[in-house]
Each structure stands twice: as C-alpha cells, then as structure tokens.
Amino acid sequence: GGCWHQCCPGRNNTCWAPGTHRARCYCDSYCERTGDCCEDYHAACRRAAVGCVVGPWGPWSGCSSPCGVGSKARSRQVTVPPRHGGEPCPDLKQRRGCLGEHPTCGTAK
C-alpha cells in the first residue's frame, strides 16, 4: 500500500493505506510526528506539498460599541489552500479592544 492515491493535511485517521503485515500506514501530515507514515509518503506527499498562502489583512471594522469598551475585527482570505500535507493556514481573523468615542457619548451621561 502507499500514498500515491491520497495525501491529507493535518491529522486525518481516514487517510491510510494497507501497510506491511496487515498494519495500517498513514498518508496524513501528522504521520511524521507519530512515525507511522507509509514508505512512499515523502516521495508522494511531501514533494507535492503546497503550504497555505493568505492575502493581506483587510481594514479594521468600526468599534462594536459607540460609547465605552467594545471590539474591532479584521480578516484576510486564503489565496492558496494547503494541499498534500502543506503548512496549514494561519489565523484568518483578528480581534482587538477599542473604546467607542462617538460625539454623542458625552451628552448621554
């Protein structure tokens, strides 16, 4: 058995092939950590591995609270998804705190 037919990113227990002595060998990128990769894993999967590529961060949103403590968020898109056990994608969303200071805040008190 071998990985020529499939290569999977991350930990994927369904990504296996029959190995020697009726034991399973794996074709997911996690098999490198556990040491149970199929013999052809490196030739079939690592050579064809494509790491995730993401675009630039978008602009921060407005503060979720017009007056007082709130949060802002921004995101980015995947431009090239990971394939064949390549590096997984980094975070696509970020959030940070903010202080809403709308001109009407002072009069609301």
Tens of pLDDT, residue by residue over 25-48, are 999 888 989 999 988 888 888 666
Alpha helices in the chain (DSSP H): 31-34, 41, 105-108
Residue type, 27: C
Asked if residue 27 lies in contact with residue 41, where contact means CB atoms within 8 angstroms, the answer is: yes
Asked if residue 31 lies in contact with residue 39, where contact means CB atoms within 8 angstroms, the answer is: no
More confident residue, 99 or 10: 99
Query: What pLDDT shows up at residue 109?
Result: 45
Q: Which domains does the chain have, with CATH numbers?
A: 1-48 (no CATH), 55-79+90-108 (2.20.100.10)
Asked if residue 71 lies in contact with residue 95, where contact means CB atoms within 8 angstroms, the answer is: yes
pLDDT category of residue 108 using cuts at 50, 70 and 90? very low
